[in-house]
Structure 1
Amino acid sequence: MRKKSIDVLLYMLSLLPFWILYGISDALYYVLFYIIRYRKHVVFDNLKNSFPEKSDQERYRLAKKFYRFFPDLVVEAIKMRTMSAEQVLRRIELLNPEEVHKHLERNKGVIGVTAHYGNWEWGIFSLSLLTNCPRLIVYKPLNDKDFNEVYNGLRSRFGATMVPMKQILRHIIRLNGAPFASVFVADQTPTYQDSDYFIEFLNQETLVYTGAERIARLTKNPIVYCHIGRKKKRGHYFCKFTTLVENPDDYQEHEITQLHNRFTEQIIREQPEYWLWTHRRWKRKRRI
């Protein structure tokens, strides 16, 4: 019953036109930033630790830019419930789809890597429309089972298969060597049971997932980064594909993980306001 109620509410809200939803987003900005101060201590601590070279005034302006963008993600996620494929492709431009197709045409699987940057959810939508090959969206299950099922239903509307992180290798094996496209949101925070590998990321020791690298090594497939950035026009994005790794066997252990995290860091430094700063990314510390 609760799951159905959530879905009905999302459906009704998603029928609102974009101009009304963005009006709601503008109001949410003031509520989140000035009234309830949603996770402001997390955001400001993250910015201070990530950009110690910036002044307090610069970080404050950056935080305000982020809080103006963040509500857009909320209303755009709601719109996913009823957006058509045509609307998705009008609002997120695939700059170079041939970068993915060249691997699929060689009968390779694609290990896609992205981050909580830009509108990654719409980016996943567009990737679902990129090919008719099996599309696997690798996700970390939410604690709320009802919301998890509703959200996965949104993400898989265009034929993608939602695969929990711990089951991805099993799903790939079932494909019997057929080409596929997968995507990992690789900047999530692992538990200590899932990873023990730390890197320097945005000036901080950071526990990172190594799953994309492990899958690439086991399957001998390339890693393609999906940079999902925001255009100047509100509600419009782009997705640029970059092949970071052609042959995983050419790299030492952890080099691939370092490579795609460095790529993410570079993107964040260029336009920091589009990364998810409310995320408690550095809550795991190295055990002594």
Structure 2
Amino acid sequence: MISYRLFLIFDALLMSFPHSWRKNLFISLAKIARFFAPSRNRVIRQNLDFAFSKGLGSEEYAYIESYCYRNLALNLLQVMENRHYVHDDFTRRVVFENREAVDELLSQGKGIVFVSAHFGNWEMGATALSALVTPTTSIYQEFKHSEFDPYLLESRTRHGMDLAEKNGALKHLARALKKGASVSLMIDQASNRTHGVSITFFGHPTYQSSTPAILSRKYNAPIVPLYIFSEDEEHFTIRFDDPIIVTGEEEEAIKIATQLQADSLEKAIRSRPELWFWCHKRWKSEYRGIYAG
């Protein structure tokens, strides 16, 4: 509890400074973290080699590796800033592409299964979605030190997001969709045969979570992929891809819809590879050998 109180003092002090100062501090911390994380740097390069068949140049490797840490630091800062944001802070910094398709679905009273990834400023993206488009129910993982959970919950829920802890979250997502509300899920983390279906991602057979497609089919809720981009890290564009409708025989329909989500994500990553969270072992379930050494 003492560590949490000290953190709140740090939070109050940090928020008393201008945004540019806070940003520069976190960027500096990211550079230090990269220097002291050789094993994580190795995972980034192993993922890049696997995804791009060792087709990247040394400068691209270095830039993507460096930006992974910078982007994570800016997301952590965003969690802290979201806790102090008001509605106008989002409207001032966020615009949307292809929002008309989403608004049309919402006008029909349909719940939507939004899917995204640890891509760009995902903390801004998820929170702005709930604040500016429609409230969503999402999943969170409890901290190892549970005293920090209320901080994260306040940062996200004050802007229209309802959060369910990962264990047992499916019933909360189902309840929201039954009521015609929307949910949001991350689809880019490692899966396995038990919790996913076989798809192709970056040219490699792998497993991806089938939860979005299962929920979509059961509750007649279209799947809408979304990604957040920025050119200056200050102003953001949330791009909605075209809705994915789950139709046909159940097993095959689930697989097709999940593959379409993977294709959407891969396209976004290829367009801006530095924005994805390359430092997690995405392919560990099927290709454990790529992380050897």
Assess same fold via TM > 0.5: yes
Preserved contact between residue 139 and residue 185 of structure 1 (Cα < 8 Å): no
Shift of 1:125: 0.9
Shift of 1:46: 1.3
Name the structure 2 match of 1:238: 237
Secondary structure of the 1:206 match is strand
Preserved contact between residue 113 and residue 212 of structure 1 (Cα < 8 Å): yes
Shift of 1:7: 4.6
Q: Matches of residues 1-288 of structure 1 in structure 2 within 5 Å?
A: 1=1, 3=4, 5-37=6-38, 39-52=40-53, 53-131=55-133, 134-165=135-166, 167-174=168-175, 177-190=178-191, 192=192, 194-230=194-230, 232-249=231-248, 252-285=253-286
Partner Cα separation in structure 1 for residue 274 and residue 229 of structure 2: 11
Residues 138 and 35 (structure 1 numbering): CA distance in 2 closer, same or farther, change over 3 Å? closer
Instruction: Judge which range, 68-77 or 18-27, deviates more.
Output: 68-77
Residues 11 and 262 (structure 1 numbering): CA distance in 2 closer, same or farther, change over 3 Å? farther
Preserved contact between residue 139 and residue 184 of structure 1 (Cα < 8 Å): no
Aligned alpha-carbon RMSD (Å): 2.8
- Per-residue CA shift, 1:119-157, capped at 9, x if unaligned? 1111111111134x6521233445443334432321111
Amino acid corresponding to residue 114 of structure 1 in structure 2 = S
Shift of 1:3: 4.9
Count of aligned residue pairs for this structure pair = 284
Partner Cα separation in structure 2 for residue 68 and residue 135 of structure 1: 27
TM-score (norm 1): 0.85
Instruction: Judge which range, 172-181 or 154-163, deviates more.
Output: 172-181
Residues 193 and 156 (structure 1 numbering): CA distance in 2 closer, same or farther, change over 3 Å? farther
Partner Cα separation in structure 1 for residue 274 and residue 92 of structure 2: 23
Preserved contact between residue 11 and residue 82 of structure 1 (Cα < 8 Å): no
Shift of 1:193: 7.9
Kindly, what percent of the aligned residue pairs are identical?
24
Amino acid corresponding to residue 232 of structure 2 in structure 1 = K
**Structure 1 unmatched ranges of 5 or more:** none
Residues 255 and 140 (structure 1 numbering): CA distance in 2 closer, same or farther, change over 3 Å? farther
Partner Cα separation in structure 2 for residue 193 and residue 149 of structure 1: 34
Shift of 1:255: 0.7
Whichever structure has more helix as a proportion of its residues is 2
**Structure 2 unmatched ranges of 5 or more:** 289-293
Residues 174 and 264 (structure 1 numbering): CA distance in 2 closer, same or farther, change over 3 Å? closer
Shift of 1:199: 2.7
Instruction: Judge which range, 30-39 or 71-80, deviates more.
Output: 30-39
TM-score (norm 2): 0.84
Residues 7 and 218 (structure 1 numbering): CA distance in 2 closer, same or farther, change over 3 Å? farther
Preserved contact between residue 268 and residue 274 of structure 1 (Cα < 8 Å): yes
Shift of 1:284: 1.7
Residues 203 and 142 (structure 1 numbering): CA distance in 2 closer, same or farther, change over 3 Å? farther
Name the structure 1 match of 2:291: none
